Amino acid sequence: MRIAIIVGSTRPHRNARTVADWVFERARGRTDARFELVDIADYGLPLLDEPLSPALGQYKKEHTRRWAEVIKPIDGFVFVTPEYNHSVPAALKNAVDYLYAEWNNKSVGFVSYGTAGGTRAVEAWRLIAAELQMADVRAQVFLPFGTSFDEHMKFTPSDGAAKALDKVFDQVVAWAGALRPLRAG
């Protein structure tokens, strides 16, 4: 079972990479899946530039084909997402929008951060996940700037956040396994 932790921001001086590194470190101690870190900043995806709908799966651009090759073999995801202006970050939404079938019948959990812990971003992601035929799990991690970051920059996760993250992993792995027959068909 392969679970990707997606770093959901490309912003300079971003918190997403620090949070994702924490998520990945906690995942490394698990034996129920192989966890990997996928940083969207590494793929240089321009604003969606494919001429056809991703639902057709007829990718014309090399960067899209490369991105699809990364996402296709993954069984489940943990999106590390900031909340920007009460919603999802544009860079992560753009990366998600490049593909369609590669997301289908896979589980997704969320680790979010922001002024209100990223709660509004996760609510928006749940709608997006439904359209992509993804199974979003109930467990989630919300990291408010006021309690999880020193001066909005230095990440200081709590024991409660770590316990919540373990539940996210449990559910993402379980649902990824349950959805395996649909991905095989």
Domain residue extents for the chain? 2-184
Query: What is the arithmetic mean of pLDDT over 150-159?
Result: 91
* Residue 165 pLDDT grade (very low, low, confident, very high; cuts 50, 70, 90): very high
Q: What is the rounded distance in angstroms from the CA atom of residue 122 to the CA atom of residue 132?
A: 15
Q: What is the rounded distance in angstroms from the CA atom of residue 9 to the CA atom of residue 2?
A: 22
Cα-atom radius of gyration of the chain, to the nearest Å? 16
Strands 149-150 and 154-155: antiparallel
pTM of the model: 0.97
CA 170 to chain centre: 15
Q: What pLDDT is recorded for position 55?
A: 97
**Shortest CA distance to 140 belongs to which of 128, 156, 150, 126?**
126
User: Which listed CATH number (3.20.130.10, 3.30.300.30, 3.40.50.360, 3.30.310.50) goes with 2-184?
Assistant: 3.40.50.360
Q: What is the rounded distance in angstroms from the CA atom of residue 91 to the CA atom of residue 177?
A: 28
Q: What is the rounded distance in angstroms from the CA atom of residue 103 to the CA atom of residue 151?
A: 35
pLDDT digits (tens, 9 = 90+) for 47-81: 999 999 999 999 999 999 999 999 999 999 999 99
